[in-house]
Structures are given as structure tokens and as C-alpha cells.
A and B are shown apart, each in its own frame.
Chain A
């Protein structure tokens, strides 16, 4: 083949491949723009003030298409499908308790995007923010509103792109001291000090301002641990527990359990563990759950499942009875005030 014809082939290929690449990008851009317009039949969303200390509200990330997509919104807890009030604060993950909010959000930079954790007061005003090392996944506030925790996914350097780990941080709002990485706490596995480089910690749920539960993974297994911020310790209490969520009375843990025989894609079921008896109860939800569930009250669990808008919220009784019910479409990361 002559040099000329090879150059011609190359030029043609550059044009064709460039055209395909451009078309794909434009198509995706059009699809993204579509999400900024509300669709008929969507939940009604309007701008307004969201207060984290107003009782009887459900606060969550609104996923419905339109100008308020991804903003923190609220509805009366008694009317979850009612009109939504949207705050204008955009978050990927959110939680609130005791009048304090924690919002993990994306920061769009010039040459790359970053993430940060923003501590919010009851009017959703920023108190402080902290840069994050990776992609936000879990956030929690202690019942008293004086301690917050978050978990991010960190991927290794760019040449080993498939190597992921988690990093979980806990922040004391009275002193603004930040424990950047709970892996620095001493971890006792069945009472013995355990040191391993493959340790990962995620999914904090608070008992009070200093005590919490979380998941520790090491050696291919996951453990429910009880953490103590003063002693800087994590002590295992149960195995095969991920993303724990402590009941309001502090006696039960709702969690993701990896079950035998489930497909590798969808390995988890929603379980409840009684901390006194160590008895595990499967809930009536049979689908795989990848979320840190929230207790709406002492009896009902709320959790997210993929839906038409990215995510819907479902409820199921915590005692294993009943059946799962859709409570709110196009919503994620719920929390319930007072």
C-alpha cells in the first residue's frame, strides 16, 4: 500500500471515529440536559426553606428531574408523596439528626472534580467543610447532633485503577477534631488486637456522641464492630454485617447480610440483629439491598433501591413481618426529624 493511500485511510478513520465520538458525547449531553426538565407525573418540587429542627419532616436528596434535582428537599413524614420543598443545597449523600446536617457534595473544579463534606446547621448553612479523598458513599450524624461520620471510596493510583479501599472519618463538632481514618483505631477481633493492612472500615451508625457501630472488613470477612472515640478502639461483636443502622432504642441493628447462594451481583439481604440475643431476623424484603437503611421509627426500615430516576425509597417492617412498600419515588438518603 502506498503512503498516500495509507494516509487517506487514516484520515477517513479519524473522521469516522471522531464523528462517532462526537455523536456519543452530544447524545449524552442531550440526555443530561433532559434531566433538568421536569416530566409530567413527577413529584411536585418547589423552592423553599428546609429546616432540620422542624419536627415530623422527612428530609432527603430529591432525585426527580427538573431544576431541583439532587437538592436536599423535605416533605411531611406523614405525607411522603406530597409536594416537596427544595433547599437549593446539592448533596450526593446526606443525613441529619439533632438539628445538624452532614452533606457530602461534589465540587466542580477547572481540571478535575473533587468532593467535600459540609457540616450544616439547622437552616442548612455551612458551618465548616472538609475535603474528601474519594467518592462519597455513607454519612451519619449522632442522635445528639454533635458528632458526624462519613465514608468515601478511595481508588489506588491510576496505574492500579481497580484497587479500591474505603476511608471513614469521624468529626467532633464541639472541638472540630477530625479522626481522619478509623483504621487508625485499635481493632480487636474476638477480643484480640488485630493488625492487617487489608482493613477497611465503613458505614458508621451512632449510639451516642462517642459510641458507634460500623463495619470492619479484613481477610475477606466483614465484622460488626462497636467503636469508642475516647478509647479509640473498635471491638467486633458479630460477623457478616455491612452498613449497620442502629434502632432508635439502641437494641437492634439493621444491616446488609451477604447470603449464601445469592448471585455475585446481588449478594445482600436486609436483616435485623438483636444486640442482646445476637438473633438475626430476615426482613420481608427479598431483593438485594445495597444501602445503609434508616429507622423511620422503632418498627419500620427505609432503604433505597434503583428506580426510574436512579433511586426510590422503600419501607419494610423491622420484625420480619409484612411486605416491602414503595414510599417515595425519585429520592435517596432519607432522614427523619424529631
Chain B
């Protein structure tokens, strides 16, 4: 059911009709939809647990959950290493992407029933860490598979479809958890069991319906040698994109801080606070596919930059003395959601443009890890700025920083006319197509 032949026959529309003739929209490849389904199902599973975990710890186990936040830093560091390793191992041989992704999804799935037996803070912390390890492991190979499964001209839209399905799962998960707890008061074990079954289903869909070989044969005689991560990181294209992702990530304030600022600025009632992430997710869900398609026409890296302007707009709404109307709240969340829609899948698509197939997993891992590490550094710095100067000044500083980062990134990514700014040679597409992904 899977054909990865756009590269074996460059420029020739393949049998699934994925290379679009101008003016016609190609169907999203089945593999992308399958991976989207896997992510949807897996996100339902993990967000079910996330939604009930605070209540479970406090109300059921009677634990003081304050210690958990302290572990986040360690988990983030381990997550970054695991992500790099995941990308690296996935590139090793035929079927590597699927194998590593399956290991990642499988590890997370195993963690759900383990929650039934972990009753203390250290054990639960360990299970959550293993869950995150699984997530770190699978991200790069999964994105590599998406990028390899679709035609380069529609990569932005393919990632948009995947991210939309992923976000839909994140929105459905808490609802299912709520329904289970409504049917069985205090039934946290039932929530974990249902979550485990859902996660197992996700792994099974991956194993059964995602093809093992996601790239053209022979691509593993890669020029990158034995240290692909280093070799990938040396590619000028990758360097520039990573530099931009890091620069922009360093000025991307974490969601929790943004919501906290939103609540303070607009003086939101306490009941509204837990609903703020839903606003962002809703906008992300609605805009991921259209903005992915825009990225394919307009240039992925250009849209990635523009997405950060949406974030800058959200900062502006929060920092400006505009009062506290509900319209501002909607505007801020819509901007925040469009920021994600214009950057999350789009960065993966742009990174795929810059990395040859043989090291696609490693390349995606390098770019995404750079971004994640930068965002983590930003949340620490922003926290310190918040404490020292107050929320408004901290946000103004972040906005100023983001402006500088965006300007620097625009310079870094500007079209210089050199071939580097086009797609990598392996991704040759029909020269007739005028709407390439290059900036």
C-alpha cells in the first residue's frame, strides 16, 4: 500500500499521483495518514493520563506533587539526547525508521499499565521519564518517515495533516478520561488501562500499516560516513536552519508562562485558566493543514519565520495596555495557535528539504533538538526575568529578543541564489513545477 518512488523516478508523477500537476491538489499519501492516525491514537492515550495525573496524585495517592517540577529539567536533557540517538539509529539501515519509531511508541505504551503499580513519587517519576524517552525516541524517525513518504512539493501540507491529527488526539484524550471517571468515580486504574489499550492499538497500527522501507533502495550508501550526526550538523543548510531554530527558540516563551501572563493581563477568572491551552490547540488544529499548504507555495522557511511574527503579535497583545476584553484573549490564543501551525510541522518540512534521505532522521533530530534545547533555556531565563522585573517587562524583553532573532534569521535564510538554498539534490522534483519549497 506504500510507494516511495518519487525519488526513484524524479520528475515523473508516480502511480499514486502524488506529484501534482500545476493547479491540482495531490492526495495526502496513505503513509502520512497512517502515521497521523498512530499519532492521534497515541496522543489520546497520553493526554488521558496527563489530564488525570494531578488529581490522581493529590486525591487518590495523597502525594505532594511539588517535587515533580524539579525533575523536568533532567527529563528535558535526557529527552534531547534520546532524540538525537533516535534519529541516528533510525538512519542505520532499511526499515530503521519504523523500527526505532515502533520502539519509541512501544516504550510509551508499556508505561501506561506500569502506572497501575507505581504508587510513590520516585516510581511515578521514573515511569513518566520512560514515557518521555519513548516520545523523544520516536519523534525524529516518525517525521523522517512522513517526509520520505510524500512528494517534496507537498511536504508542508503532509506535515500539516499529521500535526492536525496529532492535536485532535490531544483534544480528545482528556474528554475520554473524563467520561471514564464519570462512569467510574475514582477509577484512575480504569483510565490507565484504557490509555494502555489505546496506546497498544497505536503501536499495532504502526506495525501493520506503515511500510518498513521508507526510502529508495541503496540510499544507505550514504556519503556521510560513520558519524552521521556530525556530518549532518556540518552541512551549511542544516547549520543555518538549526541556527535559526535555536535563535528563535531562545526567545519563544513557554506555554505555561504565556498563559500565566494572559491570565494576569486580562484578569481571567480561575475557571478559564485550564481552558487556555484548548484555545491554542483549537487554532493549531484548524490552521495546521492550510498553513502547511501555504508553506508549500510560499516557502517553508519563510513561513517558519512569519509564524514567529504571529508569536510576536501574541506578545504584543499581552504587553500592550489594551485592557482585558474577551476579544483580546481570543486574538492572543489565535495568534499563539497560528504560531504553532506555521512553525511546528513547517520546521520539520523545511529541515527535510535540507537533509538528504540517507540521514533524514539524524538531520531532523539535530534541528528539532536544537529548538527544544533553546526553548528550555528560554523558559529558565524568562523565569528569572519574570522574578526580577515582573511579567510585563519580561515579556517586553522577550518580544525585543524575538524581533532581533527574527531579523537575524531572515538574514541567515535569505535567498542568496546559491544552490544551497534550493532543495537538496536528492529531492529533485519536476522542474515544471514553479512553486518549489525554496525560500
Interface residues of A (CB under 8 A from B): 1, 3, 6, 9-10, 13-14, 17-18, 20-21, 24-29, 31-32, 35, 92, 108, 111-114, 130-135, 137, 153-166, 180, 195-198, 200, 217, 220, 264-265, 290, 306, 311
Contact = CB atoms under 8 A, between A and B. Distances in A.
A258 B64 CA distance: 12
Contact of A10 (B47, B75, B208, B256): B208
B187 A32 contact: yes
For the complex, would chain A's binding face be called helix, strand, loop or mixed by DSSP majority? mixed
A163 B68 contact: yes
B277 A265 contact: no
B254 A29 contact: no
A28 B54 contact: no
Contact of A24 (B185, B189, B270, B277): B189
A131 B270 CA distance: 6
Interface string B242-256: 000000000000111
B193 A20 contact: yes
Interface residues of B, number: 64
Nearest to A20: B197
B171 to A, nearest CB: 9
A113 B178 contact: yes
A200 B69 CA distance: 12
B103 to A, nearest CB: 19
B424 interface: no
Contact of B204 (A13, A24, A156, A290): A13
A195 B66 contact: no
Interface of B: 1, 47, 50-51, 53-55, 58-59, 62-66, 68-72, 75, 120-122, 128, 170, 174-175, 178, 180-187, 189-190, 193-194, 197-198, 200-201, 204-205, 208-209, 254-256, 259, 269-271, 273-274, 276-277, 383-384, 386-388
A20 B197 CA distance: 7
B337 to A, nearest CB: 13
Contacts, number: 160
Contacts of A155: 53-54, 65
Nearest to A243: B64
Contact of A265 (B51, B121, B187, B200): B121
A217 B65 CA distance: 13
Given A25-B193, A133-B274, A180-B270, 16 more contacts: A10-B208, A13-B204, A17-B201, A20-B193, A28-B184, A28-B187, A28-B190, A35-B185, A111-B178, A113-B181, A153-B58, A153-B65, A156-B256, A158-B170, A164-B66, A290-B63
Contact of A165 (B69, B121, B174, B384): B69
22 contacts: A17-B197, A20-B193, A20-B197, A25-B193, A25-B194, A28-B184, A28-B186, A29-B183, A29-B187, A31-B186, A32-B186, A35-B185, A111-B178, A156-B69, A157-B256, A158-B51, A160-B254, A164-B68, A195-B388, A198-B383, A200-B66, A311-B62
